[in-house]
Amino acid sequence: MGFMFLVGVIAGIVLAVGITMFIMVSVVKKTNDWGDYDGAEGTIAEFTMIQKADKVKESFSVHEKI
Protein backbone atom coordinates (compact mmCIF):
# COMPACT_ATOMS: atom_id res chain seq x y z
CA MET A 1 0.00 0.00 0.00
CA GLY A 2 2.78 2.41 0.95
CA PHE A 3 4.67 1.60 -2.21
CA MET A 4 1.68 2.30 -4.48
CA PHE A 5 1.11 5.58 -2.67
CA LEU A 6 4.72 6.57 -3.45
CA VAL A 7 4.31 5.54 -7.10
CA GLY A 8 1.15 7.70 -7.24
CA VAL A 9 3.00 10.69 -5.77
CA ILE A 10 5.75 10.34 -8.37
CA ALA A 11 3.18 10.00 -11.17
CA GLY A 12 1.44 13.13 -9.86
CA ILE A 13 4.71 15.05 -9.85
CA VAL A 14 5.52 13.91 -13.40
CA LEU A 15 2.05 15.04 -14.47
CA ALA A 16 2.59 18.39 -12.71
CA VAL A 17 5.87 18.84 -14.62
CA GLY A 18 4.09 18.05 -17.90
CA ILE A 19 1.24 20.46 -17.20
CA THR A 20 3.65 23.22 -16.11
CA MET A 21 5.75 22.69 -19.23
CA PHE A 22 2.63 22.87 -21.41
CA ILE A 23 1.39 26.07 -19.73
CA MET A 24 4.79 27.82 -19.83
CA VAL A 25 5.56 26.90 -23.43
CA SER A 26 2.07 28.06 -24.49
CA VAL A 27 2.40 31.38 -22.67
CA VAL A 28 5.98 32.10 -23.82
CA LYS A 29 5.10 31.10 -27.38
CA LYS A 30 2.16 33.49 -27.33
CA THR A 31 4.24 36.44 -26.17
CA ASN A 32 7.53 35.74 -27.97
CA ASP A 33 6.54 33.99 -31.22
CA TRP A 34 4.32 35.83 -33.67
CA GLY A 35 2.76 34.93 -36.96
CA ASP A 36 1.34 31.46 -37.12
CA TYR A 37 1.09 29.72 -40.43
CA ASP A 38 -2.24 30.51 -42.06
CA GLY A 39 -2.07 27.82 -44.71
CA ALA A 40 -2.79 27.91 -48.40
CA GLU A 41 -6.08 26.05 -48.00
CA GLY A 42 -7.92 29.18 -49.08
CA THR A 43 -6.37 28.83 -52.52
CA ILE A 44 -8.23 25.57 -53.24
CA ALA A 45 -11.02 26.67 -55.54
CA GLU A 46 -12.40 23.19 -56.12
CA PHE A 47 -11.85 19.79 -54.51
CA THR A 48 -13.40 16.58 -55.78
CA MET A 49 -12.99 13.13 -54.31
CA ILE A 50 -13.24 10.82 -57.33
CA GLN A 51 -12.80 7.44 -55.67
CA LYS A 52 -12.46 6.13 -52.14
CA ALA A 53 -11.64 2.58 -51.05
CA ASP A 54 -10.91 1.80 -47.44
CA LYS A 55 -8.84 -1.04 -46.06
CA VAL A 56 -7.29 -2.09 -49.37
CA LYS A 57 -4.49 -4.63 -49.52
CA GLU A 58 -0.86 -3.62 -49.18
CA SER A 59 -0.11 -4.88 -52.68
CA PHE A 60 -2.50 -2.32 -54.16
CA SER A 61 -0.74 -0.26 -56.78
CA VAL A 62 -1.76 3.26 -57.68
CA HIS A 63 -0.22 2.78 -61.11
CA GLU A 64 -2.45 -0.15 -61.92
CA LYS A 65 -5.52 2.02 -61.47
CA ILE A 66 -4.57 4.59 -64.09
Partner 1 sequence: MIYKCRGCGSALRYDMLTGRLLCDSCGSTYDPADYDEVLDNESHSYETMEQKIYTCNACGAKLMINDVEAASFCAYCGQPTVVFDRVSTVRKPDIILPFKVAKEQAKELINKKLKGFFIPKDIKNIELDVVRGIYVPFSFSDLEYEDRQVIKGRVKSGKSSTTRYFYRHAKAKFSFLPVDQSVKFNDESAVKLEPFPQNEFVPFQASYLSGFYADAGDEAKENLEAKIKSRAGDVFNKKVEDTVRAGNKVLYRNNRRVNIEKTRYGMLPVWFFAYKREKATYTIMVNGYTGKVVGAVPFDKAKVAVCTALILLPLCILLGTIGGFLFDAIYENSDNSNGLELVVAGIVAIFGAATTKLNKFKKSRKLTMESSIFELAKDRQEV
Residues forming contacts to partner 1 in the complex (CB under 8 A) are 1, 4-29, 31-58, 60-63, 65-66
Smallest distance from partner 1 to CB 64, Å: 10
Angstrom distance (rounded) from CA 29 to CA 31: 6
Smallest distance from partner 1 to CB 3, Å: 9
Angstrom distance (rounded) from CA 56 to CA 62: 11
Smallest distance from partner 1 to CB 40, Å: 5
Q: Which helix (DSSP H) or strand (DSSP E) does residue 21 occupy?
A: helix 2-32
